[in-house]
Amino acid sequence: MKLCKFGNGSLGLVRGDTVTDVTRALESLGTHRYPLPTYDLMIAGLDGIRKSIEDVAKSAPTYPLNGLKLRSPIANVGKVVAAPVNYQKHFDEAAAEPGTFSREQVRQIHETGLFLKAASSLAGQDDGISIRFPDRRTDHEIELAVIIGKAADRVLASRAMEHVAAYSIGLDITTRGPEERSLRKSSDSYSILGPWIVTPDEIKDPGNLDLELTVNGQARQAANTRDLILTIPELIEFASKFYTLHPGDVLMTGTPEGVGPIKAGDLIRARIQDVGSMEVAVR
């Protein structure tokens, strides 16, 4: 099942190049009062509302995908967990460019561990990327994004995939420089998630997916998730050793080689096999 958020918070069921408005299926999530839960209600209840989504879709309005404004498919993300250098060839390119990547930044993920991006950095395909510091180098990073479905606290890699609700394309937009990663990568719109989420039943093997990114039609990144240094289950085990992962938390699994600068006016096209593709404008 492919689910998108479009327009002003509507929930869409994506089928081919159409989107059916299944917002009504969310009514079964119930009403909540302050203080609101700190996880994403739709993702936490996804197993329960799948049937309701299918029922609602039988008689709901359907629109062409082209022309809808796609937003972040996760509305209430608790945290965005991200893997630094998690592809060997990206490690090599970073190590070869000490002016852009400091020695401190180029260490193996086993030592560095993971970092967090602000939840407020999350945006969707049609929100676009707003460059915060036009005078500094800002890079694109395509990453397979994993959406946590069930709370994961000290989960072993062997059981980790039971905690995955869906996959998406992540863009980890990065201001290069000496500050902490979490600061440089947390500007508004610097975590693009889209174009939708795809449930695991539609992904043959998340550990073997082609991913590619172009800027203005020019190839920049092309790789396969089989080259991840820490695999998805290993990343979930690593993260959940330190904190509980909650429904709707997003895990950005790291970017392959080919990162490069973007500027206002550019158009990014990102594609991940079995997930989909999206175009994101840079402003």
Task: For residue 279, list its beta bridge partners.
Answer: 269
* Coil, strand or helix at 235: helix
What sign results for the dihedral spanned by CA atoms 228, 107, 132, 235? positive
What torsion do the CA atoms of 120, 239, 237, 38 make, to the nearest 10 degrees? -50
- The nearer residue to Mn ion, 12 or 84, going by C-beta atoms, is 84
Judged by beta carbon, residue 240 or residue 255, the one nearer Mn ion is 255
Nearest CA to 42 among 33, 55, 52? 52
Q: What is the C-alpha to C-alpha distance for residues 188 and 177, in angstroms, rounded to an integer?
A: 17
Smallest gap from Cβ 172 to Mn ion, in A, equals 3
C-alpha distances (whole Å) from 175 to each of 36, 63, 99, 116, 281 are: 33, 37, 14, 15, 17
- For residue 181, the minimal CB distance to Mn ion (Å) is 8
Considering the complex, state which of residue 41 and residue 223 has its C-beta at the smaller distance from Mn ion.
Answer: 223
**Counting contacts by CB under 5 A, is residue 187 touching Mn ion?**
no
255 scored as a contact of Mn ion (CB under 5 A): yes
DSSP track, 176-198 = -SSS-HHHHT-STT-EEEEEEEE
Using rule CB under 5 A, residue 172 touches Mn ion:
yes
CB of 182 to Mn ion, least distance (A): 12
> What sign does the dihedral 209-118-218-125 (CA atoms) show?
positive
Q: x-or-dash pattern for Mn ion, window 214-253, by CB under 5 A?
A: ----------------------------------------
Q: Between 3 and 114, name the residue whose CB sits nearer to Mn ion.
A: 114
In the complex, minimum distance from the CB of residue 156 to Mn ion, in angstroms, rounded to a whole number: 25
93 makes contact with Mn ion (CB under 5 A): no
CB of 49 vs Mn ion, minimal distance in Å: 31
Cis preceding linkage at 256, omega within 30: no
Q: Is 127 in the site for Mn ion (CB under 5 A)?
A: no
Of 67-75, 134-142, 187-195, 216-224, the segment contacting Mn ion by CB under 5 A is: 134-142
Tokens describing residue 215: 């800027």
CA contacts within 13 A on the Cβ side of 229: 23
Q: How far is the CB of 8 from Mn ion (least distance, A)?
A: 30
State yes or no: residue 40 binds Mn ion (CB under 5 A).
no
Q: Which of 195, 184, 64 is nearest to 128 (CA)?
A: 195
- In terms of CB distance, is 132 or 150 closer to Mn ion? 132
Of 21, 93, 127, 141, which lies in the binding site for Mn ion, with binding defined by CB under 5 A?
141
- Where does this chain touch Mn ion (CB under 5 A) — which range of 110-118, 141-149, 157-165, 229-237? 141-149
Query: What residue number has its CB nearest to Mn ion?
Result: 172
Q: Which residues bind Mn ion (CB under 5 A)?
A: 141, 172, 255
